[in-house]
């Protein structure tokens, strides 16, 4: 099937646009937060990330017939309105799930080294065991970490192995939040952690949120943490993004600007998934492979081993949470410009590859280290 040339409007932070969509038409890129109705008056296709609210106000009286979000979440998309107006839609579920799991592991290894414990000595609670939570579950299980899991929708569907949130908060030494943001339905996640249940978190625990900011009531978290500084906070997401509560940010051990899933591999995978979805909708055969897109992303990281490295050393050779944290804290200095700085950090984010892309050279790791590396996603020889 041959398509007429399309007019495509896309978030400027979506990679591989020309490679995957350039042959379909003309591409105009814009900052995601600034895309408005007037930008779409000639557009056939809209490709966004999580910062663009796609609804009637944005799309009404435009010729847009396909919307794609190169992200896991869809809380920024009015899917009911799209469906009612016969506008094709696709998200990219799972595209950056490995990247988020690796972000979590990198952060937990950092804190474990600082506080002098091993992950296998702690109970990790995962709240939300979907695309990201499953990846994290598998990797931590393979490392030998004890887990407790909470996922009410999966439990309600009859799946086993899950416990109530209250029980998880009482048992977990480390709490990792990976739920989508929902405000309706049987199991809303908005303010899932709040003034009523934050107090049930164990002394000395670690609380990490790499899902959506409003899953934690940030004002309640700030007030609670003033009396519970024993709890280590690791926050990648914030309730009023791009506005960040500077008082809360001053209390975190690691804070980042919603970049947990910002691996280059994950972002390219998301664009490719939208390309495949559009081809399917149009009844055409996709002829661009993901492997080819990733191969053109740039050289793989080459880590030289000399036999002295630990798992933490090798993980942090790929991704250093501390570097992101320092850039993030610097962005908070000018209050008036802080929201713009938040978006600039995302726009200008350094290239970060996933563990599987790394090449391990030099001395072969010990059998135990090789097992750990494989568990978290590396491919040791």
Q: Report whether 88 contacts 67 (CB < 8 A).
A: yes
- Asked if 239 is an active-site residue, the reply is no
- Asked if 187 is an active-site residue, the reply is no
Residue 203 burial by Cβ neighbours in a 10 Å radius (0-12, 13-18, 19+): exposed
**Torsion on CA atoms 18, 23, 29, 32, rounded to nearest 10:** -90
SS3 of residue 39 by DSSP: helix
Q: How far is CA 335 from CA 242, 304, 331, 343, 369, in A?
A: 12, 42, 9, 14, 45
The two tokens of residue 302 are: 């080459």
Residue with tokens 């630990």: 310
Residue 287 burial by Cβ neighbours in a 10 Å radius (0-12, 13-18, 19+): exposed
Q: How far is CA 333 from CA 17, 201, 240, in A?
A: 34, 31, 18
Q: Report whether 319 contacts 312 (CB < 8 A).
A: no
**Rounded distance, CA 136 to CA 124, Å?**
10
Residue with tokens 């975190």: 252
Exactly one of 258, 346, 352, 353 is catalytic; name it. Answer: 258
Neighbour count for residue 63 (Cβ, 10 Å): 12
Tell me whether the omega of the peptide bond preceding residue 242 falls within 30 degrees of 0, making it cis: yes
Exactly one of 102, 239, 241, 354 is catalytic; name it. Answer: 241
Which is it for strands 123-127 and 359-362: parallel, antiparallel or unpaired? unpaired
Q: How far is CA 300 from CA 12, 97, 270, 289, in A?
A: 24, 19, 19, 18
Exactly one of 212, 225, 327, 353 is catalytic; name it. Answer: 212
- Asked if 241 is an active-site residue, the reply is yes
Active site residues: 212, 241, 258
């Amino acid at each position: 099937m041959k398509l007429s040339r399309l007019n495509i409007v896309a978030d400027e932070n979506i990679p591989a646009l020309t490679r995957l969509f350039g042959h379909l038409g003309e591409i105009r890129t814009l900052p995601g937060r600034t895309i408005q109705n007037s930008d779409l008056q000639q557009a056939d296709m809209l490709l966004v990330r999580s910062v663009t609210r796609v609804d009637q106000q944005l799309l009404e009286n435009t010729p847009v017939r396909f919307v794609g979000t190169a992200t896991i979440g869809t809380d920024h998309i009015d899917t009911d309105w799209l469906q009612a107006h016969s506008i094709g839609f696709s998200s990219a579920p799972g595209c950056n799930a490995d990247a988020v799991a690796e972000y979590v592991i990198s952060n937990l290894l950092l804190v474990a080294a600082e506080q002098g414990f091993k992950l296998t000595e702690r109970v990790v609670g995962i709240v939300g065991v979907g695309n990201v939570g499953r990846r994290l579950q598998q990797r931590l299980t393979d490392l030998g970490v004890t887990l407790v899991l909470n996922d009410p929708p999966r439990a309600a569907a009859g799946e086993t192995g899950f416990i109530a949130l209250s029980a998880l908060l009482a048992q977990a030494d480390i709490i990792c939040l990976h739920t989508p943001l929902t405000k309706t339905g049987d199991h809303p996640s908005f303010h899932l952690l709040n003034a009523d249940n934050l107090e049930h978190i164990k002394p000395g625990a670690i609380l990490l949120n790499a899902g959506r900011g409003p899953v934690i009531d940030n004002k309640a978290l700030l007030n609670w943490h003033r009396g519970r500084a024993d709890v280590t906070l690791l926050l990648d997401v914030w309730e009023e993004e791009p506005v960040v509560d500077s008082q809360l940010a001053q209390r975190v051990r690691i804070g980042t600007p919603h970049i947990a899933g910002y691996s280059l591999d994950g972002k390219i995978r998301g664009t490719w998934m939208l390309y495949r979805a559009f081809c399917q909708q149009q009844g055409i055969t996709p002829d661009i492979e993901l492997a080819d897109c990733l191969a053109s992303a740039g050289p793989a990281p080459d880590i030289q081993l000399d036999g002295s490295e630990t798992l933490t050393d090798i993980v942090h050779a790929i991704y250093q949470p501390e570097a992101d944290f320092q850039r993030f804290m610097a962005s908070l200095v000018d209050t008036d410009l802080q929201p713009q700085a938040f978006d600039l950090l995302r726009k200008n984010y350094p290239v970060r590859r996933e563990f599987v892309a790394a090449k391990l050279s030099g001395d072969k790791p010990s059998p135990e280290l090789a097992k750990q590396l494989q568990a978290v996603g590396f491919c040791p020889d």
